[in-house]
Amino acid sequence: MSDPRLQSLHLEGQPRRESFRLARQALQAACGSQTLAGDARILADDNRLDAPTVAPPPPGPPAATGRFAFYLKDGANVYPLHLGLNSVGRLPDNDVVIRDECVSRRHCAVLVHTDLRCELHDVASKNGTVLNGARIPGPTRLQSGDQITLCGRRLTFQIAEIAPEAAAAG
């Protein structure tokens, strides 16, 4: 998987770049082929999974997987999550953009798997990623209602069940 959101060109100094690359490898390994196959944004025009093209997210409601929708909530802001890799950080090409100078350019990632498991990965951020008051040491499973803290910003991870009529229509 060659995802432009996971490049380390912006990092200064060799140690930070190396820690970012190690975090990126762990994140890519956690995706697995089933989750990658389900992430329509990574599929190329010819639908090859190994193609380097990244397509824009499909239009429509938040990434609903079956009867569930996944999102992060930051006060009044709601950020829908899609199946696969959801990058979180300060850069405008992240899936969830947090406008805060304390938040790293590529701070963390939420991985939504095809089997509805969700994981939080820190992507070698300077200030770390905190889940429910404790800094995460590595990939950590997410549950609805979990509090993710990036510096002083608190995001709430939510899983919402979609009404059967809406799931059938979507």
- Kindly indicate the confidence band of residue 132, based on its pLDDT and cuts at 50, 70 and 90: very high
C-beta of residue 54 within 8 angstroms of C-beta of residue 3:
yes
Residue-wise pLDDT tens digits, 93-120: 899 999 889 999 889 999 998 888 899 9
Residue-wise pLDDT tens digits, 39-50: 555 444 444 444
CA 109, 113, 118, 121 dihedral sign is negative
Question: Model's pTM, two decimal places?
Answer: 0.67
Q: How far apart are CA 16 and CA 27, in angstroms?
A: 16
